[in-house]
Structure 1
Amino acid sequence: MAFGSDDLFYSAPNTTLDALVAFPHFAPATAPLSSPAAPEGLAAPALEMRDPCGQKCRRQCTAKFSEERRQEIWSSYRAMDFAEKRMFVFHSVSQLPTARSCGAGSRRGRSFVYRLKDKDRVPQQVCKTFFLATLGYHPTNDSLVLSVMRREIGNVSNLRDQRGRHAPANKLDMQPVYDHIESFHPSVSHCGRVQAPHCRYLPRDITVKLMYADYVEKGNRCSYETYRKAVKQKNISFCKTRGDVRSACWP
């Protein structure tokens, strides 16, 4: 199914849609959104369609949708990628304020309206149980909807998959390293302005090992290799003296 097809998506009025955010921690009860590869000879668990609401449902969802139509919706949803599934929820669920507020941040201060398209491709309002069960999620687990509608954002481009995009917790802040390197005042040589305008120099009596030892002695933590690469990234070279560099430019 092509993403954005009118067969499944219902575009609710903008006034009823509050927000959309990624929900990297949500996963269906039967299978995670991103499952590790199954062992050879074993099939990965599938996202199976669940039983709908019963005849006592006040919205009479089962009278509006046949099992065949539910199967079509489920098959199309299952074939979507991570971002397309979130977009589907965005267009299928609208958020409305309740008549009676229960305080800021309360789940009871808002209500959700769920819609799916019937066999004639007409949006029909359904209950939460029918909506989630048709997509293959546990009918009492509305984490999907809450995650999508939690906060206001202004750009739908944030729908992309955010899993694995966060910086590692132990990532080193390189700015203190760069600041320490600059404290040695590397400078461009006289001839270097023409031959190597982007290269800067330090006297030969200053070495990377000496600079690194000074950095660690001041209570900073960093590996020698990381510090050496930072010096290289700054395009710094070492010469005998600054005077030697200048004199080397003249006959």
Structure 2
Amino acid sequence: MEKNSVKLLHDAGQEYVSRCTDKPVPARNVGQPCRDGCFSRLGRPVVEALFNGFYGMGDYDKQTAYIQSLVTTNPVKRRRVPIGEELPRKGKTYAYCVKYDNVMHKVCKKGFLSIFAITDKRVITALKKKTMTGTPISDQRGKHTPANKLSDRVHVLIKEHVDSVPKVSSHYTRARSADRKYFSTELNMAILYQLHRDWMTENYPDDEKVKESFYRNAVNVKFNVGFAPVRTDTCNTCDLFTNQIKTLKDSAASEDVISGLEEQLAEHRTLGNQGQNFIARFKGGPFDNDGTLALCFDLQQTLPTPKLAHGAAYYLRKLWTFNFCVTNMRSNVSTMFVWDEVTGKRGSNDIASCLLKYLDLHHDADEQTQLFLLSDNCSGQNKNVNVSLLLLKLIHDKKFFNIQHHFLVPGHSYMPCDRHFGNIEQKLRKYATIETRDDYIRLIKDATHEGFEVIAMQREDFLDFEVLQYHITKRTPRGTTFSNSRIVKYDCSYREGYQVKDTYSSDEAFEKVRLQKGKQCFSRDVFDLSKVPLTPRYHGPIKIKPVKVKELKELLPYVSAGARHGIMMPLLPNRKPCSKRDQGQGKKMKMRVTRRTIC
């Protein structure tokens, strides 16, 4: 700590900066010689040795004990009381000496203070700490309990309150800091502190309340929580190399080691810039009319439903609304797919379903024969077997002749989707209350002057792409891994599987990964995913935990009558539950599909 380091410099007689005045305090030096000739009798070398030995201890208690051993207290031998005074002004006298080479040398007071560069107050304070037995009392400064220190119960209550406020993990920081949690986006520290005071008044009215500064410090230091999950993260690799280079430069390490790390950092940034070049490539220019449909896609952070400004709403769990964005990089026009957690989830099947629905609505088969996709590396949503099989199915369906899926470098995935999400978030911040999913759809549509196309996903829109896995043999690349891939290509010239490489370089060759079963050559009679029917993924509302349903019901008094119906209807046992007979037929249909042999 800075306080302890300043204290060590002070006790060692070295220069330091005062924590009170922020001004530099010069180092201690031997004072001016006295008039009695003490310096002459001892000699300058002895004076310097005594001074260096005193501050060489570097400990206040040791120096105090040393002063006590050199100064003795004696009674006054002869008193001279001035006329008019009843008691003498002086009750004791002090004898000063120094010890060198096991010999005690008497010195005057002025000489003693000059040798050790101390004040009269320092000597008196040291003698006051001398006990009847001659043993010193250690320095007690900073070791007492502060009079204004709050009890441990205060910290317990703060923790109890923070734990009572729902928190979520960020979609964008989950890979780097899995334990990091975030409060709702409509909260900030001022609102949270006011909620704490109201909570204390309601639950613990007799306990002491803390100031906002104390509460702020406790939350920031003792809890791994934050506000408003960040949209983009800094790159882990860039941060790691930068910190390593800075540390090596501070420690005067070898120039070869530093230059090697700088070269690796430059190569990594070049790789990240190459991914960004693909975005710039499709923004007009000579590639405008090459018959390629260029898309980027991403999932926005979850939207709480309902979003309320009432204090009680911050402690209750809410329904999540999902917003998936697909942006045409040529026209910079985005289409938003919105659904809630009762209608669908946010896994690979849901993402693939939204992509397929977008292509069904916006793909021109006569003019767009190639598909270019750009996304981040989220394995649970974008980089997985279900999305890969969807793209291979599009090749078998002859909707495209060539498909390339480019994955941006983590930490450098700045896509047009992110800017559109920023526009949406700015719009949503202006509204303290958003009650239903339909309200989110209305606000997202009007988030910009041009507006967004918004499609409300229904339960039957989500398809089950896992049935395609029963018609393939899962194989992995030999030269790399699918998780490390940068480009995955699907081409009508190789319909047995896909091609992959772990660089963006055009000079690097693709590695073929065969998904077709067996060893025979490709034939539509043997391997044709276009013939595999896709069944609905969900046959009824997705079950919500009873505790969450209970808390959602507690929010109903704070929303309008029309919104209550919109919030609770999806959570009811079901308007017309799926019968066991229907569920059985659904299972039989899936079994027939999975057992089917394409011929």
| TM bracket (short chain) | 0.3 to 0.5
Greater helix content: 2
Q: Which has the higher strand share?
A: 2
Structure 1 or 2, whichever has the larger Rg, is 2
TM-score by length of 1: 0.47
Given the two structures, how large is their TM-score scaled by the length of structure 2? 0.21
More relative contact order, 1 or 2 (CA 8 Å, 6+ apart): 1
